[in-house]
Amino acid sequence: MSCTFTARLCLGLTLSLWIPVLTGSLPKPILRVQPDSVVSRWTKVTFLCEETIGANEYRLYKDGKLYKTVTKNKQKPANKAEFSFSNVDLSNAGQYECSYSTQYKSSGYSDLLELVVTEDYWTPSLSAQASPVVTSGGYVTLQCESSQSYHRFILTVEGPQNLIWRQDSQYNYSTRKYHALFSVGPVTPNQRWICRCYSYDRNRPYVWSPPSESVELLVSGNLQKPTIKAEPSSVITSERAMTIWCQGNLDAEVYFLHNEKSQKTESTQTLQQPGNKGKFFIPSVTQQHAGQYRCYCYSSAGWSEPSDTLELVVTGIYEHYELRLSALPSTVVTAGGNMTLHCASHSHYDKFILMKEDKKFTNSLDTVYISSSRQYQALFIIGPTTPTHTGTFRCYGYYKNAPQLWSVPSDLQQILISGLSKKPSLLTHQGHILDPGMTLTLQCFSDINYDRFALHKVGGADIMQHSSQQTDTGFSMANFTLGYVSSSTGGQYRCYGAHNLSSEWSASSDPVDVLILIPGQLPITPSLLVKPNHTVHSGETVSLLCWSMDPVETFILSKEGSAQQPLRLKSKSHDQQSQAEFSMSAVTSHLSGTYRCYGAQDSSFYLLSSASSPVELTVSATENQDHTTENLIRMGMAVVVLIVLSILATEAWRSHRQTHPAAGN
């Protein structure tokens, strides 16, 4: 037994001395695999064993055992052998190496190559602990997590360096999941950092779970920062489509978009011409899209600086109670004055935000609860106002813990800032007192060549705007047809003019009162009488007394067919009557006409009672003409008397002369 062992030992030593001499003279081959060393089941995989000598035979080994052999006459091209697997399975996972031989010599083994096959395990998730954004030279912590029990997790980074980290899994009792933390770095700005993680059991180290979704680290580099913009707006209604654009330098290869509250990034390689922009399209915006965004671009020169922050706000999230926005004291304010916009809701919000539709004005205030009205409100004081405040405003509600999630907006509130340019004129062709159902048109016109006109009902929220038309006489004008009048039509109206290239409106026109006659609005019919008489002479004083046995707060006196505003007087109580006396002194003939009076209450100032019976007033100038004739007659008679007296005096003088000479003779 001892002799046999000695002989075998000697033979082994001899062979061990000969084999290195035989294999050491040939360079070792290189083993590669396509498409990757980590593949899913049923993928076609090809191993390539490459050398530079020109071998006769190639051998592929798996886990230290000969797996396949290929001879040269079957190889195309030379110096390379292919070992193909049409559908890899879990049994194909393992460590591979190859060698080759010439007619007299054999090479050493190539470096080991691990083939990993993934199967349908539970897919782990990968996330950045704080943020995937990291500065050059910095570190970031990534967490790989799975609900399934695995012994180990693996983190890989795509790229030529083929970086890989392995960690034992830890059980997290709070999340009831298995996880591992990987510290990645130092991160350099000259490459992309696309990370994925896998999980596996210790007893099958080359059979992995499917890969997690990738997490790409965003490296804050030194290249020029791109610009970021949202279309149609950075304040977008929920479920609407929108696009975020990122534009960098012309060398950019790929753009990245990052929501700062998210641990993931979005990238696009679809560069839109012109301008080499990255397009991030969101077909339906949700709450999850709200937040602060930055974008980055990467090129062969490295990473850019981050863009400025884009705040994306999603509206229409809360619909508990509608918000109401109103302007105090009016929706029309003279330039330089102050106005207050009042936002209110019966639903609780931490803050209200006021926004002008062109986004040139935004302000937020804490809400205040008003117990008397049982609502929350905020008062936005704006002033001194300028023409730039002209426009439409909305208000929204939101909570401090979600500042980019806003409520349904209030209705639009139009604001008009009037300036100092020449005021236009406003008139109505239908008269100032209308019956319900009549059509009302107000005409605004000016000798200034205004491009547009606006009509505003004092105390109302709406402002109507129309383009102007030019008349043959050189006036600019616009007709505002208010349709069939109703109780809501009554009020005082003013109009304004403006040029297209300016946000400044003119001074206000003189007001026009529109009074609506609604029978039964006040269950009274006042009476009207004239003092001292229905017919008076020019220059005299006349009074029209409107009275009622029922309580009336205000009386209105209107002249039929007159373009002048009706007269108003507060009533006075006299002998248990409500009455108002409209006194007109030094009357002239143009005051002749038919008069009616109406009653109104202060609470509905422009809604009238039924009309009184009509009263005719005649101002006569005849009395003045008779006096003139009489005066002329008197003057004529005086002249005749003077002539007669002159004749008599002359005759008397002549008779006296004739008498004196006779006496002398």
Identify the CATH assignment for 30-117 out of 2.60.40.10, 1.20.1050.90, 3.40.50.300, 3.90.1150.10.
2.60.40.10
User: Per-residue confidence at 16, pLDDT binned at 50, 70, 90?
Assistant: very low
pLDDT tens across 113-140, in order? Answer: 999 999 877 899 999 988 899 988 999 9
pLDDT tens across 539-584, in order? Answer: 899 999 999 988 888 999 998 888 788 888 999 988 888 999 999 8
- Taking Cα atoms as reference points, which of 583, 585, 588, 592 lies closest to residue 624? 588
437: left (phi over 0), alpha (psi -120 to 50) or beta: left
User: Per-residue confidence at 6, pLDDT binned at 50, 70, 90?
Assistant: very low
Q: How many CA within 13 A on the CB side of residue 585?
A: 0
User: Per-residue confidence at 265, pLDDT binned at 50, 70, 90?
Assistant: confident
pLDDT at 342 over 80: yes
- 447 vs 18: which has the higher pLDDT: 447
160 and 248 Cβ atoms separated by less than 8 Å: no
584 and 542 Cβ atoms separated by less than 8 Å: yes
pLDDT at 664 over 60: no
According to CATH, the topology of domain 527-620 is: Immunoglobulin-like (2.60.40)
Instruction: Return d(Cα 382, Cα 362) in angstroms, integer.
Output: 11
**Three-state DSSP state, 590:** helix
292 and 311 Cβ atoms separated by less than 8 Å: yes
Angle at 596 between CA 593 and CA 602, to 5 degrees: 140
Domain 319-412 matches domain 422-517 at the CATH topology level: yes
**Cα dihedral sign, 171-175-177-183:** negative
pLDDT at 164 over 70: yes
Instruction: Return d(Cα 618, Cα 588) in angstroms, integer.
Output: 10
Under CATH, which number does the domain 120-219 receive? 2.60.40.10
User: Per-residue confidence at 17, pLDDT binned at 50, 70, 90?
Assistant: very low
pLDDT at 535 over 50: yes
Under CATH, which number does the domain 319-412 receive? 2.60.40.10
605-614 average pLDDT score: 85
- What are the C-alpha distances in Å from 604 to residues 479, 517, 518, 553, 608? 27, 12, 11, 11, 8
Report residue 146 as tokens. 């799975």
Under CATH, which number does the domain 422-517 receive? 2.60.40.10
Most confident of 62-66, 70-74, 503-507: 62-66
Q: What is the pLDDT of residue 208?
A: 93
For residue 189, whether the previous peptide bond is cis, meaning omega lies within 30 degrees of 0, is: no
Report residue 549 as tokens. 């046995």
- Taking Cα atoms as reference points, which of 126, 129, 130 lies closest to residue 146? 126
Per cent of the chain over pLDDT 70 is: 90
pLDDT at 369 over 90: yes
What is the separation of C-alpha 191 from the centre of its chain, rounded to a whole number of angstroms? Answer: 38
Report residue 545 as tokens. 């007394």
Strands (E) across 207-276 are located at 207-208, 215-220, 227-231, 235-237, 242-247, 254-259, 265-268, 271-272
pLDDT at 206 over 60: yes
159-186 average pLDDT score: 90
Pairing between strand 512-517 and 607-608? parallel
User: Per-residue confidence at 627, pLDDT binned at 50, 70, 90?
Assistant: low
Q: What is the pLDDT of residue 14?
A: 34
Q: What is the pLDDT of residue 665?
A: 43
Domain boundary assignment for the chain: 30-117, 120-219, 221-315, 319-412, 422-517, 527-620
Q: What is the pLDDT of residue 396?
A: 96
CATH 2.60.40.2140 fits 221-315, yes or no: no
- Write the DSSP assignment of 235-250 as a string of letters: EEETT--EEEEEE--T
Instruction: Return d(Cα 402, Cα 353) in angstroms, integer.
Output: 13
Kindly report the average pLDDT of the chain as a whole number.
86
Q: Listing from the earlier edge strand, what are the strands of the sheet with 170-172? A: 125-128, 140-146, 177-184, 170-172
